[in-house]
């Protein structure tokens, strides 16, 4: 591996920071390597997907799941025994 110094656009730096903040990358160095290897379009998709998942999880924690009759463990066990 080789160490290099580069200048990047602000957009690239923001994407790298989001990857680290959301836990997709372990460090900024790791995130830069991921972006370089996979491309910016991939990184944008991962960030948007991760944000949607976090928003849904927050919504479900605050308001509960949007289902009235969720299966119970008894339902699952009954279906397995058939």
Domain of 35 in residue numbering reads as 10-81
End-to-end CA distance of the chain: 56
36 within a domain of the structure (yes/no):
yes
Residue 24 to residues 34, 36, 47, 70: CA-CA distances in angstroms?
Answer: 10, 15, 9, 31
pLDDT given at position 64: 81
22 CB-near residues (< 8 Å, 6+ apart): 47, 50, 51, 54
pLDDT given at position 80: 87
30 within a domain of the structure (yes/no):
yes
Q: Is the pLDDT confidence value at 67 over 90? A: no
Q: What is the pLDDT of residues 2-55, one digit of tens each?
A: 888 989 999 999 999 999 999 999 999 999 999 988 888 888 999 999 999 999
Separation of alpha carbons 66 and 39, rounded Å: 36
Q: How many domains does the chain have?
A: 1
pLDDT given at position 8: 92
Q: Is the pLDDT confidence value at 70 over 80? A: no
């Amino acid at each position: 591996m080789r160490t290099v110094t580069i200048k990047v656009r602000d957009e690239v730096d923001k994407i790298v920071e989001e990857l680290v903040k959301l836990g997709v990358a372990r460090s900024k160095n790791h995130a830069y390597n991921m972006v370089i290897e996979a491309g910016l379009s991939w990184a944008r998709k991962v960030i948007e997907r991760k944000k949607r998942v976090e928003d849904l999880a927050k919504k479900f924690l605050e308001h509960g799941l949007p289902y009235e009759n969720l299966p119970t463990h008894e339902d699952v066990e009954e279906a397995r025994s058939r």
